Structure 1
Amino acid sequence: MKQLKELNVPMVSDYDIGFKVIGTCNSLVCILHYSFNQSCCLSLWNPTTMQTKKILEPQNSALLPYKVPPNCLIGFYFNQYVNDYEVVRIHSFEDIDSACLDDSLSKVSVVRVEKYSLRSGLWREIECYGPSVTVNGILFWTENCVTLEEKRTLFWIAMEVSEKINHEVIIYFNFNHTKIGKIECPFKSKYCSEVYKKVAVYNDSLALLICSENKCMEQCLDLWVFHDNYEDFQCWSKVFTIGVFSRLEHPVGIWKDEVLMATPEVLHCGSGIIALLHGYDFVSRFSYNVFNYVENYVPF
C-alpha cells in the first residue's frame, strides 16, 4: 500500500493559476497551463530530469483563437514511424457552405487538425485522409483523452453544441493513417440520468465508463467496450455494472484492467486498496484521470 504524493508541476509563467495534464508518453508529460491573463499555453515536462519545454504557438494561424479547451481537443503521443513526440489539436469551424436539412440543428461545423512536432518545434495544419468529419454545432472537449497504442489512435469525449441540442460523441484521431472520425456513445437508459462519461482502455480496447443515478439518488457505474474488429461492424457491449455506491465514492479510471474508485480516505479497486489519500481533498476535485509514466533520464 502506498501513500500518494502531490506532483509539483513547474510553472511556465508568473501568471499560472492551474494546469491540466493532457497526457503522458514514455518519460514526458504534456501539460496545459491556465493563467490570469488568458494566455494559456502548453508545455512538455520530464518529472525525472525536471526539464520543461514550453510549446510556442504558431504565428498568424487561423486556428489560434481556438487553441485551448474546451474550444478544441488536444492529444499527446509518440509517433514511432518518424521517431518524434507530437501534440495534435482538433478544432471545429462553422461550415457556411453546408445546408442543414434537420430543423432541430442550427448549423454544421467542419473539423480541422493541426500538429506540433517536438523535433522541429513547429505547428502545421494537416490534411486528414478518408471521409471528412462534420459535427452538429460546435465541438467542445468535455473529458479526458486516451490512446490505444496498438491502433495508434487517440480518443476524446466531446460535446456537439448547437442552439438547440447538446450531444456527446467520441472523436478519434489515427496518427498512423492521419484519419479522424466520430463514434456514437451507447444509448442512454430511460430509468437513470447520466452523471458523466469517461473514455478508458480495457483489455486493449476502447472502453467507456458511464456513471448513472436513479430516482432514489443511488449511483452505479457501467463499463462498456467498443468492438470494431470488422470493418463493416461496430458496436458497444456492456461488460459489467458496479454499484450501488455512495456519493462519497468516485470512479477514477481504469488501471491494469481494474476500475479504480476513490473515497476521502483510500484509492481502491476490486483487488483491494491501492493507496491512502489522507490529507488530500481528492474526491472534491472536478475531474479524475489515470496516466502511466516511465522514468527516463534521457534529455529531450
Structure 2
Amino acid sequence: MVSTVSEPNNPFLPGDVIVNILKRLPVKSLMRFQCVCKDWKNLIKSSSFIQDHLHHSSHQNPSLFLRWHNSIRMQFGLLDGDCDKEVLEVENAPLTNLFFARIVGSSNGLLCVEASENDTYPFPLLLWNPVIREVRKVRRRTIIDFELDDLLGFGFSQVDNDYKIVRIKVPEYQFVANPMEVYSLNSGSWKVIEFDNLEGVAIRSHRNVTVNGVMFWIGGKQGLDDDYSLILSFDLSKEVWTVIPMPDLNYYDKIRLIEYENRLVVLAGFFGEEKSYLIHLWVVEEDRCSSGERWIWTKIFTSSPFPPKLDPVTIWRNEIVFCPFYQSDYGVSTPILYTLNLITNEFKRFPIRSSQNDRINMKIFSYVESLVSFDNINIEDVAS
C-alpha cells in the first residue's frame, strides 16, 4: 500500500487508488514516475506491483514484437494495440550491429535471443527486457557441445518461479536424441536431463510455444517425413516429456502451435471447396473418459475463406496475425499486416509504418511489456 498525505485544500487519493491507476500505465511512463517520490519508487520496484502490472498488461494490453533487417543491420520494434500507430523502434538493443539475431522465445516481457555481431558460432544467448533496457548474457559453457541445428526454447515455470532455456540435440532426420540440457535463470547454470520415452519420435519444426510452464513442439513418427501426428511436451518444473496425439489433421497444412486464452491451441489451414482456404482452431483437454481416451480435442473456430498465401504466426487480441506481406509502391516496399478476428471472422489489413523504409524479412512475436527485472530475480550474473 502506498502511503498518502492529505493537506488542507489539496486533493487526496488513497494508496489503493494510486496503485490501481499506476498499474494501467505503460512501462516507459512508470520508469519516469519513479522520480516523483520515494514511495512511488519503492512501489514500482516492488514484486507485488510488478506482478499486478504484468497481469494487467497480459490481459488488457498485449503487444507484438517485431524483428527485421534494414540495409545495414537487424532492428527491433513494438506494435501496441492501436494498429494505426507506427512501430515504436526499440532503442539500445543488446548488440549494436547485429550479423545474426533469432528470438528463441518470449515470456513475461523477457526475450531470449540468440544474437551475434559476427559469423562465429556458437552465437551468444541473451536474456533481454527491451522496455526497461536490461540484458544478461547466458553462459554457454555446457557439458554438451553446441551445434548449429540444436533446438532452443524459452519459458517461465510458475511452480519454480524460474525462467528456463531448453536445448535439445537433434541429430540427422530430426529425431529427439538423449540427453538434453536446461538452463535455470535462478541458478545461472545448465544441467543435463536424461529421458527414455521418446524413442522413434521426431521433431518436425524449430517453432515451439510455452503454455503454463509446459513447452510444446510439433512431432511425428521417426522415418515418416510427412507425419505430423504428435505433439511433444516438456514440463519445465517436473522436467519430463509427454507425447500427445494431434487431432485428426489429414489434408491440413500450415500447422501451428499457439497459445490462446492461456491454453494450447492447434491452428491448421485447410483447402476447402472451390479452392477456398480455411483455418481451424483446436483446443485440447486431458480427461480419461469412458472410451479410454486421455486427450480430448475440440474444434473451437472455423474461419471464412481467405487467400492461401497468408501464413499465420500468432494470436493477438483475439485476432490471428499473419506474416507480413510486402507491397511495393514507387520503389518503396511496405510490410502489410493481415489479421483475422476470431469473434467477427473479419479480415483486416494495414501497413506497418515506421521511420525505416527498407525493412526486410520481418518476423512477428507475441509480447507483453513488463517491469520484470533481473534485480527481481534470484540470478547469478554470468558472462558468456
**Does structure 1 retain, via aligned residues, the 8 Å contact 2:174–2:203?**
no
- Matching residue within 210, 217, 222 for 1:156: 217
Cα offset, 1:266, TM superposition:
4.4
Match of 1:211 in 2: 269
Instruction: Give the structure with the larger strand fraction.
Output: 1
Match of 1:133 in 2: 198
The higher-RCO structure (CA 8 Å, 6+ apart) is: 2
Aligned partners of 2:105, 2:174: CA distance in 1, in Å?
Answer: 32
Match of 2:248 in 1: 187
Match of 1:25 in 2: 107
Match of 1:251 in 2: 312
Aligned partners of 2:301, 2:121: CA distance in 1, in Å?
Answer: 42
SS at match of 1:167: coil
**Does structure 2 retain, via aligned residues, the 8 Å contact 1:24–1:293?**
no
Match of 2:156 in 1: 78
**Does structure 2 retain, via aligned residues, the 8 Å contact 1:154–1:172?**
yes
Matched to 1:197, the amino acid is I
Q: 1:243 to 1:233 in 2, by over 3 A?
A: same
Match of 1:53 in 2: 136
Matched to 1:167, the amino acid is D
Cα offset, 1:236, TM superposition:
2.2
**Does structure 2 retain, via aligned residues, the 8 Å contact 1:140–1:161?**
no
Matched to 1:254, the amino acid is I
**Does structure 2 retain, via aligned residues, the 8 Å contact 1:73–1:140?**
no
Matched to 1:277, the amino acid is P
Cα offset, 1:247, TM superposition:
4.4
Aligned partners of 1:188, 1:110: CA distance in 2, in Å?
Answer: 26
Specify every segment of 5 or more residues in structure 2 that has no aligned partner in the other structure, as ranges.
1-81, 326-334, 378-384
Matched to 1:47, the amino acid is P
Match of 2:282 in 1: 224
Matched to 1:243, the amino acid is S
Aligned partners of 2:219, 2:361: CA distance in 1, in Å?
Answer: 20
Q: 1:297 to 1:177 in 2, by over 3 A?
A: closer
Q: 1:185 to 1:228 in 2, by over 3 A?
A: same
Cα offset, 1:172, TM superposition:
0.7
Match of 1:36 in 2: 119
- Matching residue within 10, 15, 34 for 2:93: 10
Provide, for residues 208-232 of structure 1, a one-character-per-residue CA deviation record: whole Å limited to 9, x for no partner: 1112345865422111111213385
Aligned partners of 2:246, 2:358: CA distance in 1, in Å?
Answer: 28
Provide, for residues 24-52 of structure 1, a one-character-per-residue CA deviation record: whole Å limited to 9, x for no partner: 22232111226523332311001123122
Aligned partners of 2:174, 2:113: CA distance in 1, in Å?
Answer: 32
Listed as ranges, the matches of 1:273-292 within 5 Å are: 276-279=350-353, 285=361, 288-292=364-368
Matched to 1:72, the amino acid is D
- Matching residue within 182, 202, 216 for 2:260: 202
Match of 2:181 in 1: 114
- Matching residue within 273, 288, 303 for 1:242: 303
- Is it true that 1:146 corresponds to 2:209 in the alignment? yes
Aligned partners of 2:278, 2:136: CA distance in 1, in Å?
Answer: 41
Provide, for residues 113-155 of structure 1, a one-character-per-residue CA deviation record: whole Å limited to 9, x for no partner: 2111223322110245xx622234x545332x22222xx3111
Cα offset, 1:187, TM superposition:
2.8
Instruction: Give the structure with the larger helix fraction.
Output: 2
Provide, for residues 158-215 of structure 1, a one-character-per-residue CA deviation record: whole Å limited to 9, x for no partner: 46664x634333221112222112223233334xx52x11111234321111123458
- In angstroms, what is the RMSD of aligned CA positions? 3.8
Aligned partners of 1:284, 1:219: CA distance in 2, in Å?
Answer: 27
Specify every segment of 5 or more residues in structure 1 that has no aligned partner in the other structure, as ranges.
95-105
Between stretches 233-242 and 253-262, larger displacement belongs to: 253-262
Matched to 2:262, the amino acid is D
Aligned partners of 1:107, 1:125: CA distance in 2, in Å?
Answer: 20
Aligned residues: 273
Task: Report the TM-score when normalising by structure 1.
Answer: 0.73
Task: Report the TM-score when normalising by structure 2.
Answer: 0.59
Aligned partners of 1:57, 1:179: CA distance in 2, in Å?
Answer: 23
Q: Percent identity?
A: 21
Aligned partners of 1:214, 1:50: CA distance in 2, in Å?
Answer: 47
